[in-house]
A = this chain, B = another copy of it.
């Protein structure tokens, strides 16, 4: 083990600094505000620091380490040039409060990204301000809320979500002050139009749904659902976490949605960084556009004088929507993430459709390969599809309930068995509607060989002795971590007393 707070031997700093500027009088902190005890930070030299974080990194699994079939998370490859671009001073060293003529490059990229997302989603206006998917949801729901307020429809206090929805959907709507109405899915995992019709009424502000849904199924009835919600006067909200499946093939706009958020860190490959940063732009139809948080990037023809500073024939500028809800992040969103996603977009351009096709190809292929291997090995009775479907989209679900019933092997056991074989585990126990669910999303950046080999390993795990599997993982830096112990014996920081 390498412990940050263990390195306390010498009076080190890992980073010698130049002298500060000489002053006529020494600056002083008001007496009552002078820091009494310095933070008990470690004293590491640079070599110690480098070794510590190198060591930590070796105890972490990323896409670069191996296959990462985490359903709903779209763990695709992060193109490396994007990191180079994001470190250019023209993005790393700019301040959101600089005047527009200092930021023509940024503004033009914002404009291009807004436009691209509008095209792909079939929306009229996009804002890049939200910094994560959940914040995008919240922002869009807030816009819908203000939209109805302005129309005087203040009775619309409810938001409908399917029971398979991601937790952020109800959480975001609730945060905005809405009441949540959950509707059950049909036995085949799809939306239940009757259940929807039963709840959609004049109190409905919106319905939130993702399509393909969290089971990886395309909701063929989506137009009908939109129809029902719109009939009731509500708005249709599209959770774009699964956008990777349909880009260039269909769009939320075509399906009748009024608002959508994008998880750029999924579809457009901003690296996930162990939990973030992300970027969660939203797009809306024209009637919601006046409510978006500002500023948005806009453009007009450049004047001859401006042309000397312009990046093209346009002058890019910020624009404040008329009834803007204001700000949901203090600046212009995660500009650094937007740049990376812009670089990602540029690599595909109008070929984004191919990206989605390969994502769906890989998902279906992996599903097929697992079933085939399992059949050959005689373990296909240990799991069933999370939902019957001819073709999945970019991800699919398996239910381990049969294995649980027959052998006491849970989805978690299988997940840990996969860790031992060098894989990140699929998403487990989500969506809740599939018992002992494993949700598998390979993404388009995995090779057929990787998928074939994973299918073999998956089946190997199922053929393990259950006892052995309960012990898994055994090859990882630590073995099964006791989460109950963690919650019961809260230790949320280094206890210096022990040291």
Contact = CB atoms under 8 A, between A and B. Distances in A.
Given A45-B445, A447-B45, A80 B9 contact: no
A449 B8 CA distance: 9
Leading 4 A-B pairs by shortest Cβ distance = A47-B77, A47-B445, A54-B64, A50-B64
A277 interface: no
Interface string A26-51: 00000000000000000001111011
Copies of this subunit: 2
Interface in A149-206: none
A447 B10 contact: yes
Contact of A80 (B50, B64, B79, B448): B50
Interface string A444-474: 0111110000000000000000000000000
Interface of A: 6-7, 9-10, 45-48, 50-51, 54-55, 58, 63-66, 76-77, 79-80, 445-449
Given A7-B449, A58-B58, 18 more contacts: A7-B447, A9-B447, A9-B448, A9-B449, A10-B447, A10-B448, A45-B445, A45-B447, A46-B77, A46-B80, A47-B63, A47-B77, A47-B446, A50-B77, A51-B64, A54-B64, A54-B65, A55-B65
A447 B79 CA distance: 38
Nearest to A67: B51
20 contacts: A7-B449, A9-B447, A9-B448, A10-B447, A10-B448, A45-B77, A46-B77, A46-B79, A46-B80, A47-B63, A47-B77, A47-B445, A47-B446, A50-B64, A50-B77, A50-B80, A51-B63, A51-B64, A54-B65, A55-B65
A306 B77 CA distance: 50
Nearest to A12: B447
Contacts of A10: 447-448
Contacts of A448: 9-10
A474 to B, nearest CB: 14
A58 to B, nearest CB: 7
Contacts of A445: 45, 47
Contacts of A50: 64, 77, 80
Q: Which of A54, A64, A448 has the most CB of B within 10 A?
A: A64
Nearest to A52: B64
A314 B447 CA distance: 58
Nearest to A446: B47
A446 B9 CA distance: 12
A147 to B, nearest CB: 42
Nearest to A51: B64
A65 to B, nearest CB: 6
Contacts of A6: 449
A447 B45 CA distance: 9
A77 to B, nearest CB: 3
Contacts of A46: 77, 79-80
Given A7-B449, A447-B45, A51 B80 contact: no
A339 to B, nearest CB: 19
Nearest to A76: B47
A449 B167 CA distance: 47
Contacts of A7: 447, 449
A446 B10 CA distance: 12
A263 to B, nearest CB: 19
A5 to B, nearest CB: 13
Nearest to A48: B447
A77 B448 CA distance: 41
Contacts of A66: 51
A65 B77 CA distance: 25
Contacts of A51: 63-66
A447 B52 CA distance: 13
A394 to B, nearest CB: 16
Nearest to A8: B449
A120 to B, nearest CB: 21
Contacts of A65: 51, 54-55, 58
Q: Which of A6, A47, A449 has the most CB of B within 10 A?
A: A47
Contacts of A58: 58, 65
